[in-house]
Amino acid sequence: MSHAQESDLRSTKIAIKRLHKNFWLRDGQKVEALRDIELDIGEGEFVSIIGASGCGKTTLLRIIGGFEDADSGSVEIRSAGQGRLATSTVFQEESVFPWLTAEENVGYGLRILKVPAQERRSIIDHFIEKVGLGPFRKAYPAQLSGGMRQRVSVARAFANQPDVLLMDEPFGALDEQTRLVLQDEVLRLWNEHRRTVLFVTHNLDEAITLSDRIIVLGARPGRVKAVIDVDLPRPRNVISLRSNARYGELYQRLWDLLRNDIAGSDGGHA
């Protein structure tokens, strides 16, 4: 059985069909941001999106999250039921509210969803502990490090239990060590609470470490260039994974797909 057939058997959570998006600049010039995007994301699947800067990754995530309209095509998110958010988003820029404490931030979506206080309390406690923020639960964002603030964001996104979690370079602004620690936390959270996750990153190690599949977007216009299955065993550990021979092969393959786009337009003259 081919990979394509296997993935058809998984129940589809997000179906994206023939998505197009253009932007018009002030001088009337057209930027074709996304062309003919077709994707099926399975229930509980962890999918990363990589591609050169400006290839449309954020635009794609924003359309899926409902922050932006497509020009044509459709995005369908199969909902698990009422009283839950379709999507929850973690951005690279910090998206915590500065006037709320860590635990109030984690519980914010649950309040909006009118989850009863007692249940809210236990969900908040669970996720605050999971991301190691127990001692800082009453702290305000200004009293936390950048890594801790992103932990609050990640905990809030999982606590909302949305149909789909969208993350746009959530660790892009963090130092390498903090980034590794947070990747490990996302791996553990995801193992325990299999959400459907779409994760944008420009970091190849991060994409391989976290994902079941990696979507490679080509630049100008953004289109699906390749879809790579990450056939590394789970549960995974951020560091020990890297000594796996398959890891190196995947890295090389991704880099071969990306290098021309990243180097610029010289690919066209080859």
Ligand X SMILES: Nc1ncnc2c1ncn2[C@@H]1O[C@H](COP(=O)(O)OP(=O)(O)O)[C@@H](O)[C@H]1O
Answer yes or no whether residue 56 interacts with ligand X by CB under 6 A: yes
Compute the least distance from the CB of residue 143 to ligand X, in Å: 31
How many residues bind ligand X (CB under 6 A)? The answer is 12
H-type alpha helices, 69-175: 102-106, 108-112, 117-130, 146-159
Binding mask 108-127 for Mg ion (x = CB under 5 A): --------------------
* Part in contact with ligand X (CB under 6 A); list of ranges 36-44, 46-54, 120-128, 140-148: 46-54
226, with CB counted inside 10 A (0-12, 13-18, 19+), is: middle
Compute the least distance from the CB of residue 49 to ligand X, in Å: 8
Total count of residues recorded for the chain: 270
Taking the least distance from each CB to ligand X, the nearer of 124 and 207 is: 207
Answer yes or no whether residue 54 interacts with ligand X by CB under 6 A: yes
Pick out residues in 191-220 that bind ligand X (CB under 6 A).
Answer: none
Pick out residues in 14-43 that bind ligand X (CB under 6 A).
Answer: 23, 25, 31, 33
Could you tell me which of 215, 214, 81, 100 has the C-alpha nearest to residue 155? 100
Is residue 262 within 8 A of residue 52, CB to CB? The reply is yes
Which residues touch 264 (CB under 8 Å, ≥6 apart)?
none
Answer yes or no whether residue 59 interacts with Mg ion by CB under 5 A: no
Compute the least distance from the CB of residue 264 to ligand X, in Å: 14
Q: What is the DSSP string of 159-197?
A: HT--SEEEEESTTTTS-HHHHHHHHHHHHHHHHHS--EE
Binding Mg ion (rule: CB under 5 A), the pick from 42, 47, 52, 58 is 58
Taking the least distance from each CB to Mg ion, the nearer of 58 and 89 is: 58
Cα first-last separation, the chain: 36
Compute the least distance from the CB of residue 199 to ligand X, in Å: 13
Binding ligand X (rule: CB under 6 A), the pick from 13, 57, 179, 236 is 57
> Over 64-75, what HEC string results?
HCCCCCCCEEEE
Compute the least distance from the CB of residue 231 to ligand X, in Å: 26
In Å, how far from its chain's centre is CA 212?
A: 12
For residue 133, give both structure tokens: 């923020």
**Rounded alpha-carbon distances, angstroms, from residue 135 to 65, 132, 163:** 32, 8, 30
Answer yes or no whether residue 209 interacts with Mg ion by CB under 5 A: no
Binding ligand X (rule: CB under 6 A), the pick from 58, 105, 153, 161 is 58
Answer yes or no whether residue 97 interacts with ligand X by CB under 6 A: no
Q: Which residues bind ligand X (CB under 6 A)?
A: 23, 25, 31, 33, 51, 53-59
Q: Which residues bind Mg ion (CB under 5 A)?
A: 58
